[in-house]
Amino acid sequence: MKDKKQVGGDESTNYQADQINIQQTGLTYADTRQLFLDLFADNFEKLRKEAAEVAVERATSLVDNLMERMAREAPERIEAARDPAFQLSVYAAQREAVRGGTEDVEKLLIELLMSRTKEQSRSLRQVVMDECVTLGAKISEPQLAASVIASATGVQCVIDCG
């Protein structure tokens, strides 16, 4: 190292050695922060997309099966779709079908909606059916032993939580 000459500018750091190895291990704060943000963004978008696909599939299934049943059993009840209150009931049923995610929940909701189409004016039966739509699907499957009986005399929701 005797014959080495070193020159540096203002505010420079000079190192003198026969050999310098500079190793940076790990990520910097900025790199780590960005990695975590990217990781979250990538996975959050993926999960959101996958969940949205499942939700659309379940909501579509409910509507397709409802419309098929209405067309087959009571095509005149399709007019009920003009009623904003019925539209809200269908939306509530879609939301609960997405949450419930089972065929049994979907069948229960369709049965309620079919009964609901019979009600042209605001009645106690209509209110009860609307509430059954939101309540029935929220009860877990082991707790749910529900039967919905629609008839000219009324709608009965029997829920056994035992």
> CA–CA separation, 64 vs 99, rounded Å?
17
Asked if the structure places residue 11 within a domain, the reply is no
Asked if the structure places residue 19 within a domain, the reply is no
pLDDT for 112 beyond 80:
yes
Q: What φ, ψ does residue 147 adopt, rounded to 5°?
A: -130, 135
pLDDT for 153 beyond 60:
no
- What pLDDT is attached to residue 61? 92
Average pLDDT, the chain: 74
Asked if the structure places residue 25 within a domain, the reply is no
Asked if the structure places residue 6 within a domain, the reply is no
Looking at residues 75-90, what average pLDDT do you find? Answer: 80
Asked if the structure places residue 38 within a domain, the reply is yes
Separation in Å, CA 70 to CA 43, 49, 74, 146: 40, 31, 5, 22
Highest mean pLDDT pick, 25-34, 108-117, 122-131: 108-117
> CA–CA separation, 100 vs 128, rounded Å?
20
- What pLDDT is attached to residue 23? 66
Number of separate domains in the chain:
1
- What pLDDT is attached to residue 89? 85
Q: Which domain holds residue 111?
A: 31-159
Element (H, E) at 100: helix 84-100
Asked if the structure places residue 7 within a domain, the reply is no
pLDDT for 119 beyond 60:
yes
Asked if the structure places residue 8 within a domain, the reply is no
- What pLDDT is attached to residue 67? 87
3-state secondary structure of 98: helix
